[in-house]
Amino acid sequence: MFKSNLFPILKDALIVITLSFFFLGDLQAEASSEKIMELRQNIWPATTTLLTETLQRETLKLALVLSGGGARGLAHVGVLQVFEEHGLVPDLIVGNSMGGIIGGFYACGYSAAELEQIADTLHWRELFRDAPSRLSLFLTQRQESENHLLQLRFKGLKPQIPRALTSGQQLTNLVNDLIIRKGVTSDVDFDSLKIPFRAVATDLVSGKQVILSSGDLAQALRATMAVPLAFTPVEAEEKLLVDGGLVDPLPVGVAKDLGIEVVVVVNTTSSLLPKEKMTSPFDIASQATTIMTMEKMQEQLSRAEVVISPVLGFHSNNDFEGVGGMIRAGRRAAEAEISNVESRIRRGTAENGEELIEIEEVSLEGVSDFTLLDLNVELRALQSDAVDLQSIREDLEALLKTGFFSRGEAILKSHPYGKELVYQLQENPTLRRVEICGNSIYPEKQLLGYLSPHCGERLNTARIQQSLRDCLELYLSAGYTLADWTEAEFDTITGTLHLEICEGMVDEIIVEGNKNTRDWVITRALPQEVGSPFNSNLVNRGIENVYSTRLFEQVTYRLEPGSERNKLVISVKERPSQLARFGLCYDSEYKLAGFIEMGETNLLGIGQQVFGKLHLSDRFKRGTLNLKADRLFKTMATYKLRFFYDHGKHHFYQNNRHTSGWKEKRYGMNLAVGQQIARLGTASFEFQIDRADITDY
């Protein structure tokens, strides 16, 4: 039995082509023939392999350098749309800030249309929100209304001032989710993405540019987007990484240093604002940054072959209204320059003096009548009396991409009347049966529903590829983003296609970055379990649950897939756990009152809290000591123990006039014990014992 391995790599839906070129000499024989090219087709290959230098690259290498600009950077999406429409795929993308975010998503597989949909539906203001969603809080957490005016955290006796308006948790969640949905895990070489990519950041410690070319893509994008004061820096060993635009707003040099011949810059940075437009501290900071980088920007613009500058007027960096308008501005600017881009990258065959072969006849061999009826290919060799090697290669690629053939050869036959170009093709055998193993989430019958309709027909690799992608989409839509086809063999004797799917089991969960907090305080909040398939929906919910404990400044995750074990790593950055709160209130009875509350939010590293609070006014004094836990150890039990002492004067009123009153001293304790019902509510009971001394005055 002969078996051919059809799935060496099951990741990218590109065509692996093996080409062999032979020197074209003068053919003098009456009926001689010579094979000039051969291509082989696999079902789900990853790259195109060129085994000879006979065929030169037709175009120069192209790089897109995408600048920052905050909301203005959404114009990059329109530029990418125009490039797609003209069939231009860059060999490299380099991005700063918003350009890094959009470029990174595009490099890992999102289309320009998908990016527009994301930009149009995203609640941009939510990215700047630091507080956890109320839906992620337990009822006992929601009941703690934030009635304080000021909160300070302490490390020892030293107050800790936040380094930015937000830790960027929401932005990090978004980036992580979008990247993992394209199957990109941690510790990757950015050259291995769909399009090679570089993110550019600035190290606040050294003041130098940092080029991120490998590692955790989500953290790289978070770093290049870390606008100072808006988002906290990303810590990487001894570095503090922030927006790369601080030292180089248009990193053309990064692309040039990598050997790119044609660099296209998309410049969405802010121009200098007029005086009346500078109305906020952020406007002033943006203007100062623009002034400091103007000279560097002009230097880099002069090094680019093409500059695309969308007309965005004085649109603010932080104004995310009118997403569609910014994308259209990017389209207009790209359409004005696209012919310039195409002419600069084109290295035509006429320029290189490549020999044209005069053809009298073109024919197909090895194609059955049934397949011939289903073919819909326009051959370039039929469009002219002379053809070059590039056209022949494109013809063979087009024939193999129909999916009907496993191999194609170009044979040049010499006849007395002239030369005949023969495309000799080897048709695939008939597919009779499909078998699937490795599935546990969905039954085999459901998965076969995508593939069984092809049985009884000649094996068509293009249609099989699409069915396999549709099948993976079933997993992806449910959050099983690690699912992938890992093996397939086609038995040419029985006509059976054997498929194996890996659903991406999580073999281990590791917690890092927690110096004081116990591991189980973090893992108890994760719905994702060891031994079950990785599910991004569950992990994202778990990250939100961990962040909602308010013990951490930032919570992220990364996947470390291995040949034997897949690790899910939860990385946390702890907040200082000692804090003080201050507040004021006023009412018509007790007039002005103030309070101070101090305590520990992570007692013994198990998430329990202890607080002392002093509430004072001219007629009322209250002191409390509270000990509470929203979750008791690994259970869903909750409790709150409160000791209190009240001392105050209270008034009697008659006809809206104060007539008399009483003094009250009250002290005691209150214990509430209950059970959290998911994050919907709490079932609890309370017990209180107190003593009150009341006297007239």
Residues 313-341, buried b or exposed e (16+ Cβ, 10 A)? eebbbbebeebeebbbbbbebbbebbeeb
DSSP string, 592-615: EEEEEEEEEEEETTTTEEEEEEEE
pLDDT at 571: 95
Q: How far is CA 546 from CA 125, 136, 524, 533, 633, in A?
A: 22, 9, 9, 20, 14
SS3 577: coil
H/E element, 473: helix 461-477
What value does the CA radius of gyration of the chain take, rounded to a whole number of Å?
33
What is the model's pLDDT at position 58? 54
Distances (CA, A) of 640 to 157, 551, 607: 27, 18, 13
Contact 118, 305 (CB under 8 A): no
pLDDT at 291: 79
- List of the chain residues with pLDDT < 50: 1-30, 44-57, 348-353
3-class SS at 447? Answer: helix
What is the distance between the alpha carbons of residues 268 and 100, in angstroms, rounded to a whole number?
12
Element (H, E) at 578: strand 578-587
User: Mind spelling out the 3-state secondary structure of 621-642?
Assistant: EEEEEEEEECCCCCCCEEEEEE
| Both tokens assigned to 411 | 């044979």
> What is the DSSP-derived secondary structure letter of residue 455?
T
> What's the burial of 345, exposed, middle or buried (CB within 10 Å: 0-12/13-18/19+)?
buried
Q: Phi/psi at 469 (nearest 5 deg)?
A: -65, -40
* pLDDT reported for residue 410: 87
DSSP 475-491: HHHTT-TT-EEEEEEEE
Cα–Cα separations (whole angstroms), residue 192 to 93, 120, 397, 518:
13, 29, 23, 37
CA distances from 668 to 407, 623, 645, 690, 696 (A): 87, 11, 7, 4, 22
Q: Which amino acid is at 638?
A: T
**Which pLDDT does position 139 carry in this prediction?**
75
Strand partners, 365: 424
Among candidates 259, 347, 351, 267, which has minimal Cα distance to 309? Answer: 267
Helices (H), 379-425: 389-401
Distance (Å, whole) CA 170 – CA 133? 10
Q: CA 366, CA 426: separation in Å to the nearest integer? A: 6
- pLDDT of 34 reads 66
At 657, give phi and psi (nearest 5°): -125, 140
The size of the chain, in residues, is 697
Residues near 331 by beta carbon (within 8 Å), at least 6 away in sequence: 78, 79, 81, 82
- In terms of C-beta distances under 8 Å and separation of at least 24 residues, what long-range contacts does 544-550 make, across chains too? 544/132, 544/133, 544/136, 544/173, 545/136, 546/522, 546/570, 546/572, 547/132, 547/136, 547/169, 548/132, 548/133, 548/136, 548/137, 548/141, 549/521, 549/525, 549/607, 549/630, 550/132, 550/141, 550/575, 550/601
Q: How far is CA 2 from the centre of its chain?
A: 43
d(CA 440, CA 533): 9
Q: What is the rounded distance in angstroms from the CA atom of residue 583 to the CA atom of residue 151?
A: 9
Return phi, psi of residue 424, to 5°: -90, 120
198 token code pair = 């570089």
